[in-house]
Amino acid sequence: MNTSQELDLKPIDTENPREIRNLLGQFATGVTVITTRGRDGRKIGMTANSFSSLSLDPPLILWSLSKTAPSLLDFTEAEYFAIHMLAQEHHSLSGHFARGSEDKFANIAHRECERGLPLLEDVLATLVCKNVNQYEGGDHLIFIGQIEHYQHRIGEPLVFHAGKYRIAAAHPELSI
């Protein structure tokens, strides 16, 4: 349907990052924790909702990290990283890895994989990825990972929308 009424489109105000954040926050997304090992052997972990699938052949994913993040150098130098998709009951785990702390893995159930990465236990899915490329993306660095190993379970995802955690629900009238 085409109407003659014009949309009230506004120009982006680059001087108002809160407005841009609120705008982009209207897109609901899943929540992940991304882990790696620093060159010095430290376990590194952070919460991210900038995750997306990219390709099936080869199996690629992408995510981005602020260029001012304390863990930027650790992730840029890492040969591998792990993506952990969180379930709806993991909102406190998401908050834990979003905050800065000396040892984010203290009192957090995890194990180590053959690549030496810390892997969180009981998440919806874990993807062990080779760090194959990085690209500039404004004030962020975009990471491309090729999935080499994975595990997953059935469950409901943790969703983030408009600055809040949400619970996903199946639409009662739709089925794909």
| CA neighbor of 126 nearest in space, from 148, 159, 105, 98 | 148
**Residue 28 near residue 161, CB atoms below 8 Å:** yes
Q: What is the pLDDT of residue 152?
A: 97
100-118 pLDDT, tens digit per residue, is 877 899 999 999 999 999 9
Q: Is the pLDDT of residue 83 over 80?
A: yes
Q: Is the pLDDT of residue 54 over 90?
A: yes
* Mean local confidence (pLDDT), 124-145: 98
The whole-model pTM stands at: 0.90
What percent of the chain is helix, strand and coil (3-state, nearest 5)? 15, 45, 45
**Residue 88 near residue 31, CB atoms below 8 Å:** no
Identify the CATH assignment for 30-158 out of 2.30.110.10, 3.40.50.1980, 1.10.3720.10, 3.40.50.300: 2.30.110.10
Helices (H), 7-157: 17-24, 72-77, 91-98
Q: What is the pLDDT of residue 101?
A: 76
Domain ranges for the chain: 30-158
